[in-house]
Amino acid sequence: MILASEVLIVGSGAGGAVTAATLARAGRDVVIAEEGPWIDPDAIQPFSLDELAAKYRHRGLAAALGQPGIVYAEGRCVGGSTEINSGLYHRLPPDLADEWRATYAIDEFSPAVLDGYADRIEAELGVSMLPVASPPSSAVLADGAAKLGWRAVEFARVFRYDANGRGTKQTMARTMIPRAVADGARVVPDFRIDRLVTRDGRAVGAKGHRTDPDGHREPVTVTADHVIVCGGAIQTPALLQRSGIRANIGLGLKFHPTIKVAARFPSAFDHDDVPMHRVTEFSPYLTIGGSASRRGQVALALADSGVDYHDALADWENVVVYYAAIRGEGSGRVIAIPGLSAPLVSYRVTDADLSRLARGLVHLGELLLAAGATELYPSIVGGPVVRAPAQLVEWWDALSRSRANLMTVHLTSTVRMGEDRKLTGADSFGRVWGHGNLRVSDASLIPDAPGVNPQAAIMALASRNAEHFLATT
Amino acid sequence: MLWLERRVVASLSENLDHAQRESVAAFVEGCLRSMPELLRFGVAAESVVLGAAPWLRERLGRSEGPSIAARMARWERNPVGPIRQYPRLLSSLVLFATEELVPAGSK
């Protein structure tokens, strides 16, 4: 199959979908190549085993190698990670935007500029607060913080709510993708781009293959005047490297190393949603929040402690999973390996990061005990189960490189943007150095871990970069 | 799944009925197949190395020696990180599948 387009967009997540909707609305001829399937957002229960199989890359079993290794998750479906995340919405903290603008010499990156794009995105998608009282699993965070005199905030989400308070997550498959299609964009799901085709320093298209439901693979070639890669902080640098583009690509991977605690309470809690409160007392370097807590996730969090958890698991409806996530000083790399479809991902946790994680874990324990938890199981192999504040000090010693079970979801910074060519892989608007018509527009451009869910920053950046594209091509 | 992986999954799900065991094994197999190739190579290499002795013992019809469950308990205490992580990976997959696929109270 051969496809021709003016603009090829690789990836359909927060970056790709916003870019596609903006360009298609302006009348540009857009093809969106998405490696994963196109799934009705209502067809699969959130955070379920079916969702893991259908929408997660590697079924959620990817890990950054290091000591310790860190499990990470990426979406792999039309809508990308917006289909699988919690939908929590945080604008990029203005002090970080100012800091990065100065460090990397990023043009048009002031908080005021970004806020302008964020205003529009929020109005288009529907970013709102829960219109009813927050569920107990979330209120626990506010309650514990209040007892300790800490700040806690209920965050808005990319949700629209009906009169009964029933929410629908405004994923890209529900919003930007249908809008792009209505304006003429073509979405090709199950289509993996193997490499970009470049000629004389310009991208002229891509080669890949489409996989049918029966497993049959068909080679596909796309010709395009412009290529915009939006595959996320792991897949984007891997594709660029596979295409022979390597300068400052795949270096400096950043994310939020996260450690969990399974907290057992005297009574049953809700388990259908993710807590929307976050403890911001220690932000942006440490954030405390809650995770998906279906029976399977509760079991995994309990098992991460490596101690006997069967009594707590039998009582799983009283158990909720919470986390402490840090903005670390460590960083990692993404390296495409010839012949393999998945890149090698590595990450180095520093001693200071480990110390910060231990502090976060102890703060999380303090908060949960203050909120009424009776037993805390940390994600440390052999980490002691804590039942009273005086025992929390044991977690300091227990947290080590060989015993910590860490995970993350917010991956950024593998193709940093800015005008300082020594530090960046692309210019201020995502144009890959040395390739004027090849752009990146996703989490890869964000220069550092933002300390909050990066979806809002990705969408604001993608909107800004798409408008720059329209103004300059 | 390789020989040792099948044995470990069977050992971890032995309290389930046949259909449940099949569902759990299918889930674990799908996960292992979906892993990034480099990670899968590593897990497969461990399966071959760690499984060599019990496989040979079984082929020779010798019943003495530690059970798979006992071997797993030993691997979990091994000072080498990847060996420690091997039983933890398979245990986590079986646990997650069991809790999601099998109704509470029927295990």
| CATH code for position A377 | 3.30.410
pLDDT tens digits, one per residue of B37-72: 999 999 999 999 999 999 998 888 887 778 899 999
Q: Specify whether A122 is located in the same domain as A232.
A: yes
Does the CB of A36 have a partner CB in chain B at under 8 Å?
no
Domain span including residue A354:
136-162+257-408
pLDDT tens for chain A, 473 residues long, are 899 999 999 999 999 999 999 999 999 999 999 999 999 999 999 888 899 999 999 999 999 999 999 999 999 999 999 999 999 999 999 999 999 999 999 999 999 999 999 999 999 999 999 999 999 999 999 999 999 999 999 999 999 998 888 899 999 999 999 999 999 999 999 999 999 999 999 999 999 999 998 889 999 999 999 999 999 999 999 999 999 999 999 999 999 999 999 999 999 999 888 999 999 999 989 999 999 999 999 999 999 998 899 999 999 999 999 999 999 899 999 999 999 999 999 999 999 999 999 999 999 999 999 999 999 999 999 899 999 999 999 999 999 999 999 999 999 999 999 999 999 999 999 999 999 899 999 999 999 999 999 999 999 999 999 999 999 99
Chain A environment of B84 (Cβ under 8 Å): 381, 402
Of B35, B36, B100, the CB nearest to A49: B100
What does the pLDDT read at residue A436? 87
What is the least distance, in Å, from the CA of A320 to any CA of chain B?
Answer: 15
Residue of A nearest to B23 (CA): A49
Residue of B nearest to A50 (CA): B100
| Length of chain A measured in residues | 473
Sign of torsion over alpha carbons A154, A159, A161, A166:
negative
Q: Specify whether A101 is located in the same domain as A140.
A: no
CB contact under 8 A, B92 and A303: yes
Does the CB of A307 have a partner CB in chain B at under 8 Å?
no
List all residues 6 or more positions away from A311 whose beta carbon is below 8 Å from its beta carbon: none
Q: Specify whether A221 is located in the same domain as A145.
A: no
A71 belongs to a structural domain: no
A69 belongs to a structural domain: no
Residue of B nearest to A67 (CA): B81
Told to judge if A410 belongs to the known catalytic residues of this protein, a careful annotator would answer: yes
| CATH code for position A445 | 3.50.50.60
Burial class from Cβ neighbours inside 10 Å (0-12, 13-18, 19+) for residue A133 reads exposed
Q: Specify whether A404 is located in the same domain as A417.
A: no
Domain count, chain A: 2
Structural tokens at position A193: 């781009």
What does the pLDDT read at residue A227? 98
| Residue A347: closest CA among A330, A364, A359, A363 | A330
CB contact under 8 A, A53 and B30: yes
Strand, coil or helix: A426 = strand
Chain B environment of A317 (Cβ under 8 Å): none
Q: Specify whether A110 is located in the same domain as A147.
A: no
Residue of A nearest to B83 (CA): A402
Q: Specify whether A84 is located in the same domain as A199.
A: yes
State the complex-level ipTM. 0.91
A60 belongs to a structural domain: no
A230 belongs to a structural domain: yes
Q: Specify whether A417 is located in the same domain as A403.
A: no
Q: Specify whether A190 is located in the same domain as A122.
A: yes
What does the pLDDT read at residue B107? 60
In A, residues 66-85, which contact B (CB 8 Å cutoff)? 67, 69
Structural tokens at position A10: 């690789």
Q: How far apart are CA A412 and CA A328, in angstroms?
A: 13
- pTM score, two decimals? 0.95
CB contact under 8 A, A294 and B95: no
Does the CB of A380 have a partner CB in chain B at under 8 Å?
no
Burial class from Cβ neighbours inside 10 Å (0-12, 13-18, 19+) for residue A178 reads middle
What does the pLDDT read at residue A197? 97
Domain final position from A408, A423, A455: A408
Q: Specify whether A88 is located in the same domain as A151.
A: no
Chain A environment of B36 (Cβ under 8 Å): 58, 61-63, 340, 342-343, 345
A370 belongs to a structural domain: yes
Structural tokens at position B94: 């079986």
Domain final position from A388, A408, A428: A408
Structural tokens at position B92: 């986590």
Does the CB of B60 have a partner CB in chain A at under 8 Å?
no
Does the CB of B73 have a partner CB in chain A at under 8 Å?
no
Q: Specify whether A399 is located in the same domain as A304.
A: yes
CB contact under 8 A, A62 and B35: yes
CB contact under 8 A, A296 and B99: yes
Q: Specify whether A240 is located in the same domain as A195.
A: yes
Q: What is the mean pLDDT of residues B22-34?
A: 96
Strand, coil or helix: A409 = coil
Q: How far apart are CA A117 and CA A95, in angstroms?
A: 17
Test the B interface: residue of A44, A45, A58 with most B CBs within 10 Å:
A58
Test the A interface: residue of B85, B96, B102 with most A CBs within 10 Å:
B96
Chain B environment of A345 (Cβ under 8 Å): 36
In A, residues 46-65, which contact B (CB 8 Å cutoff)? 48-49, 53, 58-59, 61-63
CB contact under 8 A, A299 and B99: yes
Structural tokens at position A78: 């039309």
| Residue A347: closest CA among A399, A410, A432 | A410
What is the least distance, in Å, from the CA of B72 to any CA of chain A?
Answer: 13
Tokens 């190579």, residue located: B41
Domain final position from A385, A408, A431: A408
Does the CB of B78 have a partner CB in chain A at under 8 Å?
no
Under 8 Å CB pairs connecting chains A and B tally to 66
User: Taking the CB of residue B45, how many other CB atoms lie within 10 A of it?
Assistant: 12
A191 belongs to a structural domain: yes
Q: How far apart are CA A425 and CA A177, in angstroms?
A: 28
Q: Specify whether A445 is located in the same domain as A468.
A: yes
Of A49, A58, A316, the CB nearest to B36: A58
What is the least distance, in Å, from the CA of B13 to any CA of chain A?
Answer: 15
A72 belongs to a structural domain: no
A303 belongs to a structural domain: yes
CB contact under 8 A, A340 and B30: no
What does the pLDDT read at residue A341? 95
Q: What is the CB-side half-sphere exposure of residue B9 using CA atoms within 13 A? A: 27
CB contact under 8 A, A303 and B99: no
Distance of CA A142 to the CA centre of its chain: 24
Chain A environment of B76 (Cβ under 8 Å): 306
